[in-house]
Chains A and B, each alone.
Chain A
Amino acid sequence: MKIFKSIWSTLGSTATYWRNNPKLLAGLILILFLFFFWLAGSLFVDLKRAQPISGLPDQSPSSRYLLGTDSNGRDVFAVMIVGTGLTLKIGFSAGIIGLGVAVILGFISGFYGGVLDAVIKGIVDVLLTVPPLAVLVVIAAMRTEAITLNFMIFIVASLSWMLPTRTIRSQVLSLRERAYVSIAKLSGMNNLEIIIKELMPTLIPFMAAGFVSISSTAVLASIGLEALGLGPQSLPTLGMTIYWAISFSALLRGMWWWWLPPVVVIVILFVGLFLLTSGLDYIANPRLRRVR
């Protein structure tokens, strides 16, 4: 299979950069750490303790409650495990949806050009200047039913695909003029074949970087909405935990075990995603390698 071969060779060249690219490795380790924290936690900890009134309220950390409990009687340690899983799910699901949109629009726009290109480029440019939180607040606040996890994923994905679309579009624009694309065309490949077999493999680093950046934007948007209370109220995501902690003034009451753990997990998540993005950028844009 040609595609697998090209993926393999891309991975191979990735591995050679590995040593020159400690950021990618560090980012991967941080994200995997969170993933395994969630996995191990779900296996070994009773997650029912993350539900309200499952324990005594306002307990400080002890051997029974590793990170204490909040004012609604949730075990904060169990909440962290469930919340990490939910927030990772929001980020990566939105990343997949957003990347799908970005790849389709980017390829259409860059490869076919014309009116479609002008329209897509116009929409991207307009949406880029709009503050995402403002639009998301309207969508979430006007919703009459309770906000579900899937709805959350959908709305944060809906405003996170623009920058990767632009990157992919400009890459395709320059790639389609290359000689090997003309040769493929002359040898009778149709457009779809050229896109999938010739263009996609070269764009894998860009798509990976796009996926990470969409996930990161999506998580940022979701915890931003949740901090305003516009999240899934019945689920203990990391952002909702912070919302509850703020609205129960955990900080002023000295309940550090309530607000600090979600902050720490979110910081690990964002630093991890940030390192991954800059590591992948380093692979995708060789120009950056001059900057040491």
Chain B
Amino acid sequence: MTVMYLLKRMGILILVIWAAATLIFILPRLATSRNPISARIGQTAGAAGYLSQNVGEMVKAWEAKFGLNQPLWRQYLYHMKDIATLDFGYSLAFFPARVNALLLSALPWTMCLFGTATLISFLLGSLAGALLAWPKAPKFLQYFLPFFLTLSAVPYYLLGLVLLFVFAFTLRVLPLYGGHSIGMVPDFSLSFFMDALRYMLLPGLAIFLSGVGFWSLQMRGTMVIDLEEDYINYAEAKGLKEDRIFFRYAIRNAVIPQATSLAISLGQMISGAILVEVVFGYPGLGTLLLKAVSSFDYNLISGIVFIIILIVAVATFIIDLLYPILDPRISYRRQVA
């Protein structure tokens, strides 16, 4: 991997992060018809039963305090400085709490649920797809594919609703709501881990089931084409063992397009996972986002959205850097066009 490629790829990463930071700066300011400060003052005044005569002056005073009377470019620079230090200010809805504290408490839940479920779905799906293309694989696998393919067309969270109905509401074998039992304090003990695992099972299953068909279909497509290549015939002619050809020759080559589409669809998948959390009331970023949206908490919405974009951008970046390991032919040296 050359330094040039690394620099270029990091440039794109920074570009994405910069675009996200600018987006959450511009959009609230485009909504000019509602001034958040006068709205907030009106709300408080209404709740306290006292109507101030000089609301206009109060709005001005608070605008000065928040730096909203500064020229736009200076506001933008302050905003960028805050983002660079990952400081999203106070939450408006849960006031004394800072956005960062809320994000930090939600992030581990989302990362564990989404990361584990997606990884298992990707690995198992790809393996199943590879087997589907392999002539000597058990035939019964063929019958599962249409079923899982149908599931992969269904949005994650609708599948979640159905799973919730069957396993939690009707059969009552798994919990209905939340991330851990009420009364359990999150810590690193084994009992808490087992408890959290039970709560993770259904939302995780929803994410797993809707991904696995997609990955196996794509893997099968690549494998079928790869298996007709000369190097596979040659490997067979050499008398190599079946499983060596399967794992080291065929899968090795077919896994590269899989990684590409993992990088491309990461954004779509995390969007789906966030909605799964809403259905299950799982205490991650999705449920936090629902709370933020329903209470018009701009700061919290901006923070969550920025963190999600950041996670996806960094994950895509890492996958891109892993390519040369997956495929030694890609060296990212300057190619002769």
Residues of A within 8 A of B (CB): 125-126, 128-135, 137-139, 141-145, 220, 223-224, 227-230, 242, 246, 251-252, 254, 256, 259-260, 263, 266-267, 270-271, 273-274, 287-288, 290-291
Contacts and interface: CB of A to CB of B under 8 A. Distances in A.
A228 B288 CA distance: 11
B47 interface: no
Contacts, number: 133
A252 B153 contact: no
Given A228-B278, A288-B221, A133 B162 contact: no
B209 to A, nearest CB: 13
B158 A263 contact: yes
23 contacts: A129-B313, A130-B16, A130-B267, A131-B270, A131-B309, A132-B267, A134-B267, A137-B293, A138-B301, A144-B34, A223-B155, A224-B155, A224-B157, A229-B294, A251-B164, A251-B165, A259-B161, A260-B165, A270-B155, A271-B154, A274-B149, A288-B221, A291-B220
Given A132-B267, A132-B271, A271-B153, 7 more contacts: A131-B267, A131-B270, A142-B27, A142-B28, A263-B161, A270-B154, A290-B224
B165 A144 contact: no
Name B's interface SS: helix
Q: Which 3 A-B pairs have the closest CB atoms?
A: A133-B271, A131-B267, A274-B153
B298 interface: yes
Chain B interface residue number, banded: 35 or more
Contact of B278 (A246, A259, A271, A273): A246
Given A132-B271, A133-B271, A267-B158, A138 B27 contact: yes
Interface string B295-306: 010100110110
A266 B302 contact: no
A128 to B, nearest CB: 6
B16 to A, nearest CB: 6
A260 B153 CA distance: 17
Contact of A266 (B12, B155, B268, B293): B155
A90 B78 CA distance: 39
B316 interface: yes
B271 A270 contact: no
A230 B290 CA distance: 10
Contacts of A260: 165
